[in-house]
Amino acid sequence: MAVEKARALVIRSFPFGDSSAVVGLYTREIGKVRALAKGAWRPKSSFDGGLDLLSACQVLLLRKSSGGLDLLTEACLERRFRVGGSMAAFHGGMHVADLLDALTADADPQPDLFDVADATLHSLSVVPSGVVPADGTVRAAVARFELAALALTGHAPALRHCAECRGAVGGAGGGAGRIAFGMLDGGVLCAACRPGKRAVVSISAECVAALRGLARRDAAAGPAVIPDAVDGEVRAVMNTFLSHLLGRPPRVAPLLKPRSRPHPGRPT
């Protein structure tokens, strides 16, 4: 068995026996791996809190040459994921983990995807800043991660050109009107290509403009912003697109939907 060192994000953790755990790791050097951590929950173990869910750590792995679980021998904690009571940040972090698992194959390293996920989880965590991210900031960071992850894994939705004919669709600034978005076609559709398509929704030009802006941003460039007017619409589009892509609804993302604002004059 070969010993390998890697930077890892803990995306899954399951009890195994009385004191051990099976962990899912997304690593920068190896890709996605599943490993057995013997004695992980003992008071004095070689993991020292490094296997907390969504934490970033340095790990040592004994790689199996044929099938089965790898053996995790050491995990050194780099950064814990702490949300300071923000359920939106917790749900956002779990959604990042879900997508890392769903969009990738085992042992297929994608360093750029690891870096985007690591930066996103860091932005959602209150450590070391101590500042709890606002719910809207969380939704923007998550949407930006989704679009980056989809682009890096070859599933990016077409947002500027028609997914069918590659013609330009809408203006860069959004503008008035509605734009067709084909879930099965993989993005926006021009008026000529729209007829006869299935699983098409009509979204606002402002929503398309917001998605374009999020797709352009680097995950390390600081907080992203989604205009309040299209916050819920952006979330709905991403949830529906991911449902068609994965063949199932995303497990956590629906919990990120913004709360309905009370109508003026109506009791709350």
Examine the domain organization and report whether 156 and 215 are in the same domain: yes
Count CB atoms within 10 A of the CB of residue 71: 16
Examine the domain organization and report whether 93 and 217 are in the same domain: yes
Examine the domain organization and report whether 103 and 170 are in the same domain: yes
Of the three residues 48, 80, 112, the one that is the final residue of a domain is 80
Per-residue pLDDT of the chain (268 residues; tens, 9 = 90+): 678 999 999 999 999 988 899 999 999 999 999 999 998 888 777 787 789 999 999 999 999 877 789 999 999 999 999 988 899 999 999 999 999 999 999 999 999 999 999 999 999 998 666 678 899 999 999 999 999 999 999 999 999 999 999 999 975 444 558 999 999 999 999 999 999 999 999 999 999 999 999 998 665 556 788 999 999 999 999 999 999 999 999 999 999 999 765 434 443 3
Strand order of the sheet with strand 178-182? 187-189, 178-182, 200-204
The conformation of residue 50, written as its DSSP 8-state character, comes to: T
**Exposure of 159 in the CB half-sphere (CA atoms within 13 A):** 26
Examine the domain organization and report whether 76 and 144 are in the same domain: no
Dist CA 191 CA 206 (whole Å):
18
What pLDDT, on a 0 to 100 scale, did the predictor assign at position 265? 42
For residue 220, which amino acid is it?
A: A
pLDDT digits (tens, 9 = 90+) for 145-197: 999 999 999 999 999 999 999 999 975 444 558 999 999 999 999 999 999 99
CA distances to 27, 139, 142 from 121, in Å: 14, 12, 9
Examine the domain organization and report whether 177 and 230 are in the same domain: yes
pTM of the complete model: 0.90
CATH no. for residue 94? 1.20.1440.120
Domain range for 106 is 82-268
Domain count, the chain: 2
Burial of 115 (0-12, 13-18, 19+ CB in 10 A): middle
Dist CA 236 CA 256 (whole Å):
10
Find where tokens 């009571």 sit.
Answer: 85
Examine the domain organization and report whether 183 and 97 are in the same domain: yes
CATH no. for residue 13? 2.40.50.140
Examine the domain organization and report whether 147 and 221 are in the same domain: yes
Examine the domain organization and report whether 151 and 243 are in the same domain: yes
Examine the domain organization and report whether 138 and 212 are in the same domain: yes
Of the three residues 80, 99, 115, the one that is the final residue of a domain is 80
Examine the domain organization and report whether 38 and 50 are in the same domain: yes
Examine the domain organization and report whether 129 and 235 are in the same domain: yes
Residues 230 and 206 sit within 8 Å (Cβ to Cβ): yes
Of the three residues 38, 56, 80, the one that is the final residue of a domain is 80
Examine the domain organization and report whether 44 and 86 are in the same domain: no
Total residue length of the chain:
268
